[in-house]
Structures are given as C-alpha cells and as structure tokens.
A and B are shown apart, each in its own frame.
Chain A
Amino acid sequence: MAPDVHGLVGAYLLHALEPGERAEVEAHLAACPDCREEVDSLRSATASLADEVAETPPASLRARVMRTASETPQLPPVVAAGRRPRRWLAGVVAAIAALVIGVGVTVGVVLRDGDPPAMTAAEVMSAPDARLHKEETSDGELMVAMSHEMHMVAVDTAHLDRPAGMTYQVWWHTDAGMESAGVLDEEMSVAVPVEDGDLMVTMEPEGGSDHPSDKVLFEMPATSL
C-alpha cells in the first residue's frame, strides 16, 4: 500500500476523511488486494463500536420501514462475465449520495510551552457517555458536551464567529447566584465541572465580565445536558 494511503485506513474506516481523500483511498483499494484484506479485517472491529450505543427505536418505525420496503423495487445482483462481483463496498458507495468535494485544508500546529492543557474538552467530548449538543447561534455553531461519568461539561466555541475584542464566558447559574466557570480568551474550548444549576455561555468583552451580558448563546439546566 502506498504509504500515504496506507496511513489513512483508520480514518477511512471511521468515515473521518474528506470526500477527496476518501475517493483516493477507494481508488487505491480497488487496485490493491492486500490493502483490501487489511481494511476488511478492520471493518468488523469498526462496526463493533456500534455495540456500545445500541438503542431500541420507536415501535412505529418498524411499520414505516416495512411499508417503504414493500413499495421499493430491488436491484438485481451485479454479475459481470469473467469477473468477480464488485465488492459490496462499491454498492455502499454507489448507494450514498456523493458529497460536495471539500476544500483541502491544512491545520497549523502551534507548539507553545506553558499553554493550559487543551486535552480536557476533547476528553469530555470523547467520553463514552458524552452527550453532544450543537447549538446554532447567530454567530455560528456552539458545541456543548456533557459527560455524567466524568461529571464535566465541555464548551467548544471554535465554530463561532468571534468578533474582535470579544470573548466567550461560561457560567453556572445556581441557587447561590451567577458564577463564572471560565473565560475563553486564549482557548477555543474549555471543560468545567458540573454544578447543580443552569449552564450559560455568553459573549463578553475580552477578559470576561463579573456578570453575564444580554448576549446569551446557550442556556440549559445541567439536568438536561
């Protein structure tokens, strides 16, 4: 396997590639039996990740699925003379609408000593029980993730259009009053311990405020997070 494509196998199986790279990997797999073998052997392990999140669907869904099937014509098998049937993945690819080709992007990595750990919000978001809330605001998308096991909430403001001179501040509104849980001056994301109250995210002047402004981007009781 070509080294660059080889390294993308994990991201490919996790559906974590941009469409251009995905096409590159699939083209390579079509021509490389050894690579297909590795991908096949890992695909079952990838699918087993579903076991952790199994959830019974509403009973009404079954009737809808069955009705739709009864009204949907089936495709014939793909058989080409002298050739193996196309691997089923080709069917998957064909079945799913192509995505808009993404713009190639690179991510700069800044290494600075003394920065606060940025792992924490990602840790909360990747916790097995993390519940992710994506809030569409007038400034973009705010992500809030709650892990009951870790007893932490992560707030990620990286998708927000932050105006110059402004920052985002996280608050807990509890019986004891309004308490600042963090100011995102330097960071895009923060993880804070869960309090017994309402989580709020507001926009504030750089440096943060003593009391939240009227610009509330997110507000939700911890019990609903």
Chain B
Amino acid sequence: MRRALRVVGDESSPDPDDDLDPAGVLAAVAGGDLDAFGRLYDEMAPLVFGVARRVVRDPSRAEEVTQEVFTEMWRQAARFDPSRGSVRTWVLTIAHRRAVDTVRSTQASRAREEHVARREPVDVAGPEDAVVTASEHEGVRRCLDSLTPLQSQAVRLAYYQGFTYPEVAELLGRPLPTVKSRMRDGLIRLRDCLEARDGA
C-alpha cells in the first residue's frame, strides 16, 4: 500500500522541517517507495554531503559516506521513531557519526596516541573575545556567533573537523573538564538561540 505523499517542489520554505512531511515520506520509504526515497535524497543530500565533505575532506570519500548514509536510511526507515526527533535530525546524526568514524578509522592510531602523549598544552590567559566573527549569515551562523569563543571553538573543532574532545583540549590548550563543559553549554546555548529564532 502506498501512502499519499505531498509533492515537494524545488522551492524550499525557510524552515527545512516545514517544507515537506518528512515523517510521512519516511513512512513511505519504509514501505519500499523508491520515489519517496528520491524525495528524501533531494531534500537531505546537500546537508549529508556537506557534512561528509567537511569532515572527511576527500570528495570521493565524502560521496561514499553520503551513499552509505542513504543506504542506511533506506534499510532503517521502518525503525525511525518520530517521538525522538525529526527525520532531518536523524539523518544528520547518522551522517556526522559516519563521517567522523570514517576519518578516525583511517588515521593511524599510533600517530594519534603519540600526538596525545607528546603534546604539552599551554593554558592561555587572554581575552575571551579573541575571536570575533562578523555575523553575516542568518540562522545557525548567527547563533554560533552568540557562543563564547571557547564554546564556539570547542563545538566547531569537534563537529566540523572531527576531533575528539581530548584532541580539542590539546588544540585549545585547555583542561579536559573545561572542554567537555564548553561543548555541552555551547550546545545548550545554540539550542536556546535556535529555539528563540524559530519562535520569533
């Protein structure tokens, strides 16, 4: 049985969660509907590929990651639980995790351990406003800019570069507990800013 699906046009509304009924599309995908899967791909591929490209860098490997993520979507569609979050969040969580795992599995563990063993981080006493980035973009960029520099750097180094938090701590020359805390309170601040934006 095929479910009726909303037709998704090329013009996206500002909120990606609103421009189609992703849960409905995914339910159709779970029923083996390849057309619905194609719509899911068209909607999500730029974000999935963008994350993969950013984290793994190499374009052909980023394509492999993207393909793996969508194959997982196809396989796992029936197991998506809408009470836990949006389709978009589900897809992007899997995409980022897969990209990060790809990067880590190809880095020599020996080199990584030596890196950690030899590194002598230096605590930096300095103004907390060391990085001031012009807020030119709407949305997440603006909300990222509302983070403290340390929160922003910790979140960015982990998400966009795929570093582990001990590696981030080394790069920033900060103690592990500080970096852990900044990642958490950075995400909390990001969430609150995005919710305020969406509610406005």
Contact = CB atoms under 8 A, between A and B. Distances in A.
SS class of chain B's interface: helix, strand, loop or mixed? helix
Interface string A143-182: 0000001000000101101000000000000000000000
B119 A11 contact: no
Contacts of A103: 109, 113
Contacts of B166: 18, 105, 107
Given A11-B183, A41-B191, A48 B98 contact: no
Given A62-B41, A122-B153, A159-B111, A49 B140 contact: yes
Given A85-B79, A122-B171, A50 B92 contact: yes
B199 interface: no
Nearest to A58: B63
A115 B122 CA distance: 7
Interface in B118-159: 118-124, 126, 130-131, 133, 137, 139-141, 143-144, 152-159
B154 to A, nearest CB: 8
Given A16-B165, A96-B101, A141 B67 contact: no
Contacts of A141: 107-108, 111
Interface in A115-143: 115-119, 121-123, 125-128, 130, 132-134, 140-141
A157 B131 CA distance: 23
A85 B177 CA distance: 35
B140 A61 contact: no
Interface of B: 30, 32, 34, 37-38, 41-42, 45-51, 53-54, 57, 62-63, 66-67, 70-72, 74-81, 84-86, 88-90, 92-98, 100-101, 104-105, 107-109, 111-124, 126, 130-131, 133, 137, 139-141, 143-144, 152-166, 168-177, 179-188, 190-191, 194
Given A42-B191, A61-B49, A107-B121, 17 more contacts: A7-B184, A15-B97, A15-B162, A17-B165, A44-B85, A48-B143, A55-B53, A57-B46, A66-B38, A86-B81, A106-B176, A126-B152, A126-B161, A132-B57, A134-B57, A141-B108, A188-B118
17 contacts: A14-B165, A15-B96, A40-B84, A43-B89, A47-B93, A47-B96, A48-B194, A49-B140, A51-B139, A52-B144, A62-B41, A69-B37, A72-B74, A89-B93, A97-B101, A132-B57, A161-B114
